[in-house]
Structure 1
């Protein structure tokens, strides 16, 4: 059996990097994508640790042409894209009347439109090989809203809708598409938000985590990175071919309320 290939956006930091480690441990070829200045070094470090083949692309998620070229590079090097993980995302928090137009445009482009352009680009390959797994890292905000996050919530709700449509179109070709909707995962990005909120509210970081970030969760702890990665790896395999079009909450009971 040939070695499978995964393309993961936003895979040189945070959740995406955790997912990359999970795929590397299974021996996948990986196309890493990220905006970090040392992204190539990060990708090379993971590849060396697990002895896998890899590529790194700094393709701008706001550029459809750059995304298409990234997919072409992946296919030219590895012969296929078997799994696409749409993980790249940005956030901005602001009341709607003050929300900057450029922030709205960037969030929609990176968090939503990029997933469409990449799915469109990998579709012919997945269709021809009669196998494809598209996994969208949405958010619990793909199912529920929070104030001051208009663009992020709109984009993540859009990802859930796109997931359902791709699942319907992909079903005849053994292409599945699912969205994972985590609550807060304790990444460096979230850690910075905790620190900022602590200063803004004159609260300890511990109180911010339990009273602000985890207030809506029944389980008062961050979602483990390992839980997100385990769900991704399950959805990437052959067996769950009938699991498609779903938005899977990993949210500590947030959605139970």
Structure 2
């Protein structure tokens, strides 16, 4: 399905990004991994992706909070593979605190990684996609691109920004064979979600079990976490030719959260 094409997936060494990278490799794509973690684990993931796809997988450790590193990563990917056909902006961080206590450095980091890095990757990928008249831009947003929650001012602001960025890119690229969409997962049990449970418990004066049951899963009528594999399959579909007429869409996969 994606044989001969190259995908860049940010934040792909764990969680949703890792699942998406695996799904795209299964479809035959070369994959550029990006993210943090133990290097031996990342190398195991990289070699596994090559085995799955029969194509190439490389790792780039660019820190997406720095625009120069983001753009250098994209340049290296283009140099290695000649094109970037599928771009998945997944990297994200979170911090939970009341807005009057929200650390400025956390606000700046969340906006840089969760929003500005997507601007930089898209700006670098679009010229080549336009030249080939084919491209897929998939931004992993969140239900928080559509609704808000207390104590997550930076994250909600960034994800709402991703929704607007996605729509703008879709309009600019529509006549060039390029689609741009945002997938908006509800709560998925990933390291990012797991790490925010203690902070949310502290901010709300709850136990961690109460946070999971009455805050996280309470938001989703299914009372179940969204699965990484479900989000990854959705992304792979959007990356395929069957997704060619879906663009500018903000697409929930949230167990019914935003239906309320």
Residue 121 of structure 1, aligned match among 117, 120, 124? 124
Find out whether 1:251 has 2:245 as its counterpart. no
**1:193-232 superposed matches below 5 A:** 193-194=196-197, 201-202=206-207, 205=209, 207-232=210-235
Aligned to 2:110: 107
Shift of residue 8 of structure 1? Answer: 0.2
Residue 149 of structure 2, aligned match among 106, 130, 146? 146
Normalising by the residue count of structure 1, what TM-score does the alignment of the two structures yield? 0.93
Q: In terms of mean alpha carbon deviation, does 131-140 or 35-44 score higher? A: 35-44
CA root-mean-square deviation: 1.8
User: Is 1:83–1:236's contact at 8 Å kept on the other side of the alignment?
Assistant: yes
How many Å separate the matches in 1 of 2:69 and 2:245? Answer: 32
User: Is 2:93–2:192's contact at 8 Å kept on the other side of the alignment?
Assistant: no
CA deviations on 1:129-179 (whole Å, 9 max, x unpaired) are 000100000000000001110000000000000000000000010111000
Shift of residue 116 of structure 1? Answer: 0.4
Shift of residue 32 of structure 1? Answer: 0.4
User: Is 1:75–1:81's contact at 8 Å kept on the other side of the alignment?
Assistant: yes
User: Is 2:136–2:178's contact at 8 Å kept on the other side of the alignment?
Assistant: yes
CA deviations on 1:38-67 (whole Å, 9 max, x unpaired) are 264244232344143011101111222211
Unaligned runs of 5+ in 1: none
Find out whether 1:156 has 2:159 as its counterpart. yes
How many Å separate the matches in 1 of 2:17 and 2:128? Answer: 23
CA deviations on 1:191-241 (whole Å, 9 max, x unpaired) are 3444665686236x3x43221211121110000112101110110011222
User: Is 2:217–2:223's contact at 8 Å kept on the other side of the alignment?
Assistant: yes
How many Å separate the matches in 1 of 2:142 and 2:232? Answer: 14
**1:1-257 superposed matches below 5 A:** 3-38=4-39, 40-50=42-52, 51-194=54-197, 201-202=206-207, 205=209, 207-257=210-260
User: Is 1:12–1:42's contact at 8 Å kept on the other side of the alignment?
Assistant: no
User: Is 2:226–2:255's contact at 8 Å kept on the other side of the alignment?
Assistant: yes
How many Å separate the matches in 2 of 1:121 and 1:227? Answer: 28
CA deviations on 1:88-114 (whole Å, 9 max, x unpaired) are 000001111111111000000000000
Task: Give 3-state SS (helix, strand or coil) of 1:215's partner.
Answer: helix
How many Å separate the matches in 2 of 1:69 and 1:171? Answer: 26
